[in-house]
Homo-oligomer: A and B are copies of this chain.
């Protein structure tokens, strides 16, 4: 058993042993680096299953827990995807889609490129007083409704989203193929995009399960405020998107021209 550890000076690694032990660096870091390099080199191809953790541990000559730590790093970084009871798989190289603010919605932006966006409704709730407190729509007193839904792009989970709007404007039925904005437009409400706020967060449990990513993975959070043509607030949005998949482009004033 190659249980030597150069750092602690317990024993020297036997000649020809695995290249994952270097003085001054944690073994799990070296395993992470080595696995990443193998994946980059194509030694493990996208979609392919990595050897079982026990096998990796054996071939690196380290404990299984050390391998797991490396795998967890790669999973959080989005390099691999681990499935309980099955194995760890190299993820397909991510297509990072550019969302251009020149379009009215993600659906429009993507359909211009021939990609289909669908919507899966998770929940529709009328908010109680307390929950609605943060969402006042001055020109629309009365109940407030929250839509929770998932957007799916080209068959893959795209974002976990919430939309809050006055009940008076909310669509009673919503075709999964069109955007919520489009559904409102069908009911005669024109929607103007007024403000977008960008931040990042660690994926919580919901994000992880709905987006198929690791707990703690980075998530891009886009908050939006929409108004009617008169400038009255009618809709507040939150989109949580897996970091590797999204990239929002905003063209700033005075200088709008086409870019590749």
User: Chain A: residues with CB nearer than 8 A to chain B?
Assistant: 73, 76-78, 96, 98, 101, 192-202, 216-220, 222, 227, 231, 243, 246-255, 257, 259
Contact = CB atoms under 8 A, between A and B. Distances in A.
B220 A200 contact: yes
B195 A249 contact: yes
Nearest to A220: B200
A85 to B, nearest CB: 16
A93 to B, nearest CB: 16
Contact of A198 (B220, B253, B254, B257): B220
A80 to B, nearest CB: 13
25 contacts: A77-B202, A78-B202, A101-B250, A101-B252, A193-B252, A194-B251, A195-B249, A195-B251, A195-B252, A195-B259, A196-B249, A198-B220, A198-B250, A199-B246, A199-B247, A200-B200, A200-B218, A200-B220, A202-B243, A216-B216, A218-B218, A220-B220, A227-B255, A231-B257, A250-B250
A201 B243 CA distance: 6
Contacts of A193: 252, 255
* Number of copies of this kind of chain in the complex: 2
Contacts of A259: 195
A250 B257 CA distance: 18
A200 B259 CA distance: 22
Nearest to A253: B253
B216 A201 contact: no
Nearest to A227: B255
A184 to B, nearest CB: 16
A212 B218 CA distance: 17
Given A197-B249, A218-B218, A192 B231 contact: no
A247 B197 contact: yes
A99 B120 CA distance: 33
Given A193-B252, A200-B219, 5 more contacts: A76-B202, A101-B252, A202-B243, A217-B218, A227-B255
Contacts of A246: 199-200
Contacts of A247: 197-199
Contacts of A199: 96, 220, 243, 246-248
